[in-house]
Amino acid sequence: MRLIHSDEHEDFSNFFINYIKLEMNLIDEFKNSANKLKKSQRVVFKKQDTKEVSNLFNQLSLKFDKIPSLANYGGLCMLGVFKSCENSGDIEAQSALLKGARMFRKSSERKTMLGCINDNSNIEGSYRCYSQALCSEKDPVIKACIIREFNEINKNLIITSDFSSYTHRIYELEKASNENILSNDYIFALEKLTEIIEDFSERKCENLYSDVLIRVEFTRLLLLLILELPANHQSPSHIKILERFSWTTENFSSGIVSKHLSFLKFCDGNLILLFEMLVNLCKTRQYESIKEICDMISSHHIITTEQNILLANLIKLYCV
């Protein structure tokens, strides 16, 4: 066991004292910046330039972020930036709320990691920032992204319909479907994906979400090939997708192989052709070729992890 020499002890003491001084100086800087903001807000008749205060808070937040014990002050600084900019309509105000929410979350995680007593103040600060960001945001896509982050704090959090958006609903349905695929609940996965397609069809906005719809359409097709549902258990939507990817003597001889929905025009035609070949190989039970086509589809860059799982299960079903 090595004894600590007096000079080492003195070095440590000096380091600790300097660290405490640094913390106190930063907190004093924060208080001074907060006072400047309060003074500017008291002026009613003259418009004040709060850019200087906003810059002070931004610089302070970077300093606080480097000190684990004071990370929550970084979130408070971002709230200061928001208050400085909120009446100007500046995009920086919205950005500050999201940065603040993330800093409060980071502070909570750091306290837990360091074994400190972690009250709910940081989480409450994060809630506050996310809630304000949602209330002020108009773009449904950005709002959906904010809700997604919001839900990471508390997966059981129920956000009211005022905050909901169509984009967020799509994300939640597809996420739930992917979880069903991983747990082999293919019927439930298919139901959720079919709900996405039907909602798009009702809203007549398919071309705005072509990437999502292409992904969902291919996943649905793979699920149907694995499930092999009898006719009386297939919905009209299921029948249509199988028909779209099937070849008949009539359309094959006339050169019209693909009669697909409009959003599929944005997809690689070779990949569509591979899926058509797969459907017809499964229909005609040409087992020796199914694995080869599945491997070719699997190597395409847009194929997802879940789709690769389904392709592997399809090979097991038909080729093993």
**133's tokens:** 């960001």
Lowest mean pLDDT among 195-204, 255-264, 276-285: 255-264
Q: At residue 297, does pLDDT exceed 90?
A: yes
Q: At residue 118, does pLDDT exceed 70?
A: no
Q: Domain residues of the chain, as ranges?
A: 10-154, 173-319
pLDDT value for 43:
53
Q: At residue 194, does pLDDT exceed 70?
A: yes
Q: Which pTM was predicted?
A: 0.53
pLDDT value for 259:
52
- Determine the average pLDDT of the residues in 182-207: 83
Give the integer Cα–Cα distance in Å for 242 and 220.
Answer: 10
Lowest mean pLDDT among 51-55, 158-162, 263-267: 158-162
- Determine the average pLDDT of the residues in 1-29: 62
**CB within 8 Å of 194: residues ≥ 6 apart:** 220, 235, 237, 238
Residue 206 binned pLDDT confidence (cut-offs 50, 70, 90): low
pLDDT value for 163:
46
pLDDT value for 262:
66
pLDDT value for 254:
39
Give the integer Cα–Cα distance in Å for 78 and 95.
Answer: 9
Give the integer Cα–Cα distance in Å for 318 and 315.
Answer: 5
* Sign (positive or negative) of CA dihedral 288, 289, 292, 295: negative
Question: Alpha carbon of 303 to those of 183, 214, 225, 227: distances in Å?
Answer: 19, 10, 16, 20
10-154 placed in CATH 3.40.50: no
